Structure 1
Amino acid sequence: MIPELKKNTEQKMQKSLEALKNDLGKVRTGRAHTGLLDHVMVDYYGTPTAINQVANVTLLDARTIGVQPWEKPMIAKVEKAIRDADLGLNPSTMGDIVRVPMPMLTEERRKDLIKVVRSEAEDARIAIRNLRRDANHSLKEAVKAKEISEDDDRRTQDDVQKLTDRYIAEADKMLALKEQELLQV
C-alpha cells in the first residue's frame, strides 16, 4: 500500500510539472516558435479544429511564423482564428500563406508576462502541495483502519515531504529559466 501511494503521488507530481512546462511554453518571448499556435482552434466546416490539423505551421524566419492552410477557403478562417486567440499577434495574408510576425516585447509587456509566469508556477506549487496533503490524508486513514503502523506513517510522510520539496524546487527552477528568457532583450 505504501509503495503504491508513493508511486502514485510521484506520478501526479510529475504530471503537475509537465503541465507547468506546457503552460510556460505558451508564454511567448520575442522569438517565434510553432508551438505558440498549438492551442489555436479554427472553425473547420462547423467543427473547432486545432490549427495544425488544417494547415502546415512552419517558421519562416526567427521572428515570423508561416501558416499555410491545405484548403484555399480556410485562409481567412485561419487568419481570424489567430487574431481572435488573444495572443497579441497580428497575422497578414500573402497569397496562400498567413504570415504571423512576432512583435517586439516592450519592458511593460515583459513584466506582465513575468507576472503570468509566476502565477503559473505558483499554481503548480499549490497542486504539488495538494497532492502531498492527499497522500498524508490517505496515510492517516490507513493508520485509523490499522492497515499500517504509526512508524510507517511517519516514515512515509517524511518521504512524501522530500518528494514535495524536490518537485517544488524543480518548478522554481523552471520558473527561473523562463524569467531569464523573458528578460533577455
Structure 2
Amino acid sequence: MEDEIEFIIDSTKEAMDNALVHLKKKFSNIRAGKASPAMVGSVMVDYYGSQTPLSQVANINTPDGMTITIAPWEKGLIQEIEKGIHLANIGFNPMNNGESVIINVPPLTEERRRELAKTAKAEAEDSKVGVRNDRKNAMNSIKDLDISEDLQKSLEEDVQEMTNKHIKLIDELFVVKEKEIMTV
C-alpha cells in the first residue's frame, strides 16, 4: 500500500514537472525582440536526403541583438539552409555571403509584441490545464485506494499543495516572459 501511495505522488510530481519543462521549451520558441539561436531551432535542412535539424549541420551565433549568423560545416549546405529557413515559415529573410547565412531580425512592433504576449499567456494556460489534469488523475487514484479517510484527506491535501506550487511557478514564468516580450 505504501508503494502505491508513493508511486501516485511521485508520478504526479513528475507529470507536473514535465508540464513546466514543456512550457519553458514553448517559451524559448516565442521571440522576444532580440536575436537568439532558439529562433531557428525549428529549421530542418535536407542533408544528403534526410531532414536534419539546423543545429546539427551548422554553428549558430548571435553576434549582436539583431543578427543571427549560421556558419555551415560544409559550404555546399548554404542553399539548403536558406531553403530550410524559408520552409520553416518563421518570418525571416536569410542572406548569404558565400561563407555563411545571415539573418537580420527586425524589431518587433507593439502590435506583434501584444500578439506574442497573448501566445505566451495561452501556452501558460495550457500548462495550467495539464497540471490540473495531473491533479485530477492523482485524486482519482487516491480515491481508488483502500485507505482510511484521514490518510486519503492528507494525500489529497499534499496533491493540492503540489498543484498550487506548480501553478504559481507557471504564473511566475509567464510574468518573466511577458516582461521580456514587452520590453523594447
* Global fold match (TM > 0.5): yes
Aligned length: 181
Tell me the amino acid that sits aligned with residue 168 of structure 2.
A
The TM-score with structure 1 as length reference comes to 0.94
**2:155 aligned with 1:156:** yes
Question: 1:21 aligned to 9, 20, 24, which one?
Answer: 24
State the Cα deviation string for residues 63-111 of structure 1 (Å, max 9, x = none).
1110011112210110111122122111111121000111110011111
Aligned twin of 2:63 = 60
1:98-177 to 2 correspondence within 5 Å?
Answer: 98-142=101-145, 146=146, 148-177=147-176
The Cα shift of 1:61 comes to: 1.8
**2:40 aligned with 1:41:** no
1:4-15 to 2 correspondence within 5 Å?
Answer: 4-15=7-18
The Cα shift of 1:150 comes to: 2.1
Moved over 4 A (4+): none
User: Which whole-Å CA distance do the structure 1 matches of 2:87 and 2:115 have between them?
Assistant: 20
Tell me the amino acid that sits aligned with residue 129 of structure 2.
I
The Cα shift of 1:31 comes to: 0.6
Aligned twin of 1:178 = 177
- Unmatched 5+ residue regions in structure 1? none
**2:90 aligned with 1:87:** yes
The Cα shift of 1:52 comes to: 0.8
User: Which whole-Å CA distance do the structure 2 matches of 1:92 and 1:149 have between them?
Assistant: 68
User: Which whole-Å CA distance do the structure 2 matches of 1:181 and 1:169 have between them?
Assistant: 19
SS of corresponding position for 1:87: coil
User: Which whole-Å CA distance do the structure 2 matches of 1:120 and 1:46 have between them?
Assistant: 34
The Cα shift of 1:5 comes to: 1.4
Tell me the amino acid that sits aligned with residue 172 of structure 1.
D
User: Which whole-Å CA distance do the structure 2 matches of 1:176 and 1:84 have between them?
Assistant: 32
- Unmatched 5+ residue regions in structure 2? none
The TM-score with structure 2 as length reference comes to 0.94
